[in-house]
């Protein structure tokens, strides 16, 4: 089972950069998108159906042109849950989950903390989401929560850990939260298979950051402990360039 997670930073913009051709070549069973920045009536979903993804679940933010997540699948889920039921999260379209036979997949877009107000919002979201995920895993023990976590976990995950230690995305409080989240019973699939590999999944558009590989690893497939032995592959697809992020891939022997 191949799952790809991709913060596209606007799906309509990505479509103009060859996204569909890339998707057909990458050929995941399940595609999790973040930051779709589109309302459903603004999107021709038929292009994804023709590419082999008839089952589509879009969750836009209330605010147009902002946030939003989606799951596209070759296979029909047994059940789909849009949102978490927590209003502060759901207004911004940050969570959608699809339940398949034997496992569940969530596309999640954790907020960034670009201002004091947004950092407070992010920290509150993190606290609420951790408790939500703990409860969810009791019901769905074979759970994958993939997406843009907007946090670099360890110094190896960021190009300049000393200079950036006071920047949101690498703050001690954020990194501690991610450690605590993992310790509740999740596995960072990429780091599990590649403990010493330094690769990134996001680069600023400024100062030629991508060409100079001054990046951050913000995108994860967090896999519940019950699925750990099923992880066969976890890689970062840096050659895909439809966004300031690149996709991350997980393969599970299910």
Tens-digit pLDDT profile for residues 143-152: 999 999 999 9
Q: 183 and 221 in contact (C-beta within 8 Å)?
A: no
* Average pLDDT of the segment spanning 202-218: 96
7, with CB counted inside 10 A (0-12, 13-18, 19+), is buried
**Mean pLDDT, all residues of the chain:** 97
Q: Report, at the CATH architecture level, how domain 2-252 is classified.
A: 4-Layer Sandwich (3.60)
Report how far residue 38's alpha carbon sits from residue 130's, in angstroms, rounded to the nearest whole number.
Answer: 27
Helices (H), 80-188: 87-90, 116-139, 172-183
pLDDT reported for residue 185: 97
Q: 93 and 67 in contact (C-beta within 8 Å)?
A: yes
Separation of first and last alpha carbons in the chain: 6
Over residues 105-142, the pLDDT tens digits come to 999 999 999 899 999 999 999 999 999 999 999 999 99
Over residues 48-74, the pLDDT tens digits come to 999 999 999 999 999 999 999 999 999
Residues in contact with 70: Cβ distance below 8 Å, sequence separation at least 6, in sequence order: 11, 32, 33, 36, 56, 57, 58, 59, 96, 107
Tokens (6 digits) for 35:
């930051």
Q: 201 and 217 in contact (C-beta within 8 Å)?
A: yes
pLDDT tops 90 at residue 26: yes
Over residues 150-169, the pLDDT tens digits come to 999 999 999 999 999 999 99
Q: Count how many residues are written for the chain.
A: 254
User: Given strand 2-7, what is the order of strands in its sheet?
Assistant: 55-59, 69-73, 30-34, 2-7, 248-252, 231-236
Q: Percent of the chain having pLDDT more than 90? A: 97
What are the sequence ranges of the domains in the chain? 2-252
Q: H or E element: which one contains 234?
A: strand 231-236
Q: Among residues 115, 189, 202, which one has the least CA distance to residue 157?
A: 202
Collapsing DSSP states into helix, strand and coil, what is residue 25?
helix
pLDDT tops 90 at residue 88: no
pLDDT reported for residue 92: 96
pLDDT tops 90 at residue 81: yes
Predicted TM-score of the model (pTM):
0.97
Crossing angle of helices 116-139 and 172-183, rounded to 10°? 0
Pick the catalytic residue from 29, 99, 148, 219: 148
Q: H or E element: which one contains 190?
A: helix 189-193
Q: 72 and 48 in contact (C-beta within 8 Å)?
A: yes
Over residues 222-242, the pLDDT tens digits come to 999 999 999 999 999 999 999
Q: Percent of the chain having pLDDT more than 70? A: 100
In the annotation, is 148 catalytic? yes
């Amino acid at each position: 089972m191949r799952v790809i997670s991709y913060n596209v930073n606007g799906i309509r913009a990505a479509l103009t950069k060859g996204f569909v051709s890339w998707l057909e070549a990458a050929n995941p069973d399940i595609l999790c998108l973040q930051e779709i920045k589109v309302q459903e009536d603004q999107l021709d979903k038929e292009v994804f159906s023709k590419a082999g993804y008839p089952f589509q679940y879009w969750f836009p933010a209330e605010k147009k042109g902002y946030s939003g997540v989606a799951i596209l699948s070759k296979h029909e889920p047994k059940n789909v849950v849009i949102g978490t039921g927590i209003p502060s999260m759901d207004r911004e379209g940050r969570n959608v989950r699809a339940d398949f036979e034997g496992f569940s997949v969530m596309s999640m877009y954790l907020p960034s903390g670009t201002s004091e107000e947004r950092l407070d919002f992010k920290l509150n979201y993190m606290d609420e989401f951790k408790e939500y995920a703990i409860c969810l895993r009791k019901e769905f023990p074979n759970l994958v929560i993939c997406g843009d976590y907007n946090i670099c976990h360890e110094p190896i995950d960021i190009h300049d850990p000393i200079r950036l230690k006071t920047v949101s995305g690498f703050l001690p409080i954020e990194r501690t939260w991610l450690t605590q989240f993992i310790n509740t019973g999740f596995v960072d699939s990429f780091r599990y298979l590649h403990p010493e590999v330094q690769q990134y999944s996001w680069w600023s558009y400024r100062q030629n950051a991508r060409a100079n590989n001054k990046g951050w690893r913000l995108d994860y497939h967090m896999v519940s402990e019950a699925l750990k032995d099923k992880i066969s592959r976890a890689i970062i697809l840096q050659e895909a360039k439809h966004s300031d992020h690149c996709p991350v891939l997980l393969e599970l022997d299910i």
